[in-house]
Structure 1
Amino acid sequence: MVELLQMDGKFYLEALVNGDSKTISKIYQKNFLGVKKFVLQNKGNIEDAQDVFQKALLQIAVRHKKEGIIIKSSFDAYVFTVCKNLWRRELNSYKKRVTNSEGIEQISEYTANAYALVEQKRHELFLEKLNEISDNCKKILTMFFAKTSYAEIVETTEYTSEAVVRQRVFKCKKKLTDLVKGDQRYNSLREL
């Protein structure tokens, strides 16, 4: 399954790098509506969604050409995550802009894109390390990160109480944190 996802991802990545307009059009058809919905639900408009989507595709193409990305999830999920991270970064930059009587100080687009790329790499490192922990830990943490209540986790697993689930979440988070911090890429991706 992972090999099929990687082949699918490689096909789309190459299409982006080579400017294959027919395939890029398919990428838009498959992915833009989800991105638009996310942006509209998070204080944006259609133009914002179009800008974010375009920036994401450009960022993915440039990064693949420069570094050779290997996508281990579906290409569609990867594109959505990049768009989501770019939009969140954009929302955060609105908060950081300083207004004075002479105008608005804006973060350069280059800097914003660099931050978004670092954020994407952090997300990829996190997912990679999440896949390295035990299936049990992965299941528990996935539910925990999805804001599933401890009571619901008890109901859907073999654990007997919320206290046991809390302890298991704590141990699994520690294991995941240790794996992330133990990776050589961690220091270069720490908060800027």
Structure 2
Amino acid sequence: MIDNSLYLKALLNNDSKIIKHIYNDNFFKVRAFVVKNKGQQQDAEDIFQKALLQLAVRYKKEKFIIKTSFEAYLFTVCKNLWRRELNKSKIKVTNNEFIEPKGENEDIALAVLEQKRWELFTECLELISENCKQILKLFFAKTSYAKMVELFGYNSETVVRQRVFKCKTKLKELVKKDKRFAALIEL
């Protein structure tokens, strides 16, 4: 197993041997995700390439540390980029106004900002109680309140709603208290 920083340095130094290893070990998962979510092989290739470029650019600018496995981090970056692409295509289809295309550098900067927001969110999620983590993960997965009543043994859906509200409030407080928050909010 290669240290995460070695992967990042390989991307920065264009180390074809390690980059090929990254492709061989990770691309099939990204392709499966993109194809499952309204994409094609070419879309997956583009997203994977953008993700690698984004990681290299960000690592060159700031020597960040990946706290999970490189594979999981790369997959998350790819998922976020693909979701962003899907959202952009929705805007183009439903909005009749002219949208000025963003340059590649601006796109990478926005993707890095989005990734940093995701990292802050997941780090703060780890700081709340185990019960709150479970409740919010189910809530974000759009699990019904009725199902949560059944899973947690609460008395009613009202109790679940109150618990979700309290857990979301606690998570928001942690995010807002973090010193990185001010730099990551939208202007």
Pick from 54, 65, 71: which aligns with 2:66? 71
Q: Which residue of 2 aligns with 1:114?
A: 109
1:39 aligns with 2:12: no
Q: Which residue of 2 aligns with 1:126?
A: 121
Q: Which moved more, 1:120-129 or 1:76-85?
A: 76-85
Q: Which residue of 1 aligns with 2:169?
A: 174
Q: Indicate if the aligned counterparts of 1:129 and 1:176 stay in contact, CA closer than 8 A.
A: yes
SS state of the match for residue 10, structure 2?
helix
Q: Which runs of 5+ in 2 are unaligned?
A: none
1:165 aligns with 2:157: no
**Structure 1 residues 60-88: Cα deviation after superposition (integer angstroms, max 9, x where no partner):** 12212321222222222211111122122
1:90 aligns with 2:92: no
Distance in 2 (alpha carbons) for counterparts of 1:134 and 1:117: 28
Describe the shift of the 1:88–1:158 C-alpha distance in structure 2 as closer, same or farther (beyond 3 A): same
Describe the shift of the 1:158–1:18 C-alpha distance in structure 2 as closer, same or farther (beyond 3 A): farther
Aligned residues: percent identity? Answer: 60
Letter aligned with residue 134 of structure 1: S
Q: Which moved more, 1:33-42 or 1:114-123?
A: 33-42
So what's the TM-score if we normalise by structure 2?
A: 0.85
**Structure 1 residues 137-184: Cα deviation after superposition (integer angstroms, max 9, x where no partner):** 111111111122222223332433322221111100000011111222
Q: Which residue of 2 aligns with 1:80?
A: 75
Q: Indicate if the aligned counterparts of 1:89 and 1:112 stay in contact, CA closer than 8 A.
A: no
Q: Which runs of 5+ in 1 are unaligned?
A: none
Q: What CA RMSD, in Å, does the superposition of the two structures yield over aligned residues?
A: 2.5
Q: Which moved more, 1:37-46 or 1:49-58?
A: 37-46
Pick from 24, 27, 34: which aligns with 1:29? 24
So what's the TM-score if we normalise by structure 1?
A: 0.83
